[in-house]
Amino acid sequence: MSYSRNRRISEEIKKVVSMLIMNGLKDPRVSSLTTVTHVDTTNDLRYTTIYISSLDSKQNINDTILGLESAKGYIRKEIGKTLKLRYTPEPLFKVDSSLEHGMHINDIISGLNKRDDDEE
């Protein structure tokens, strides 16, 4: 039962942080091509890990994480305003590299398929 509640809270946090990145943050380090890919909230609702992905280069994603870390208090306040919880979870930002990993795997598979086609 608490698992579905935890998942719903994570999805709401994802919506709030996505809207803040698009509209609310004025930090120039936060890229406009930044997306929130996944949110994990602990069972006690004290911490929430927000996975960030960007279509920009690696340096820009690290700058984006630094910008989000500096706006952590504002983001937590906005999450608290939107969600009526006893405790507002503290956001922790991490880089989500699953897109790059997926593209790498796709390149490997494409290379293998191309090699098989050349052998035939």
Q: Using CB atoms within 10 A of its CB, is residue 16 exposed (0-12), middle (13-18) or buried (19+)?
A: buried
CATH classification at residue 76: 3.30.300.20
More confident residue, 102 or 46: 46
Nearest Cα residue to 65 out of 95, 110, 98: 95
Please give the tally of structural domains in the chain: 1
Q: Is the pTM of this model over 0.75?
A: yes
pLDDT tens digits, one per residue of 69-105: 999 999 999 999 999 888 899 999 998 877 777 888 8
Helix (H) or strand (E) holding 86, with range, is none
Average pLDDT over residues 6-30: 89
Domain that holds residue 88: 2-119
Judge whether residue 119 has pLDDT over 50. yes
- Which ranges of 1-120 would DSSP assign to H, the alpha helix? 2-19, 58-70, 72-82, 98-119
Question: What's the pLDDT score for residue 16?
Answer: 93
